A and B are shown apart, each in its own frame.
Chain A
């Protein structure tokens, strides 16, 4: 899959390496900005710090 993508990137080898790194960074950014905050609620590290309140 990744090999297929890499072979289909345009340009010479050096350009494809740069493009691949750029794509990777875009994916990581999207994960951090959008995906991770959304899934944070299911994380075991995002602990509840409050005392249950009387309502």
Chain B
């Protein structure tokens, strides 16, 4: 009976020393997580004259836009490249994933799970294992079709769609698996076929899945480095992650510009995270926990 006395105050109902201590730990952890953000924003805001390594923890002395103006001028066209690559690649890979996921969850056939697993393997491979043949393939496409794939954003869109299909298919498959099959059977009794069930019933129900897949793919493709750096050699045509790396390695660029550039390059995915964090969390859990 003595234990009951202890149980009279479950956590959260009353303040305790345990809560105080753990909150302090959480605040210390928060400082750790915000430190790199502080370093980037703080030093990005400094002028070229005032940015120095020995004062990196000091606040800027005046607010004049610091390195942001030059960072934006240097990265603007690469930001545009990234957008031109990310938007079509995200939309296309989401649409293909929706169709695949629908079939793999509601119209299974013998061996469909195995085929899906073989597809999913493509998401987990280190891309180094396909990089050289992929470059050769794109170069061949250039010659055969006369359309520039290798060296252009078009080629990047193509590979991001192809290597995005496994994960978008997985997310949609898990999403559709939770939609009751009775709903489809009722529609079938009313004379709907596989395709009309998809367009009339499943697609309108899929808005949340499209948001999740959209965020997941946008973030993944925006943050990609390896495909961008191998497929596009021309600095003017490269996505922003590669341009930021070049900026950071260049000796002629002031340090405040590099920091501001990191903030600029991070901004689109950071804003998505800040405004859609609920869906973002759902997306990353959907993309990682296999059903």
Is chain B found bound to chain A in the same assembly?
no
- What is the interface of chain A, defined by CB distance below 8 A to chain B? none
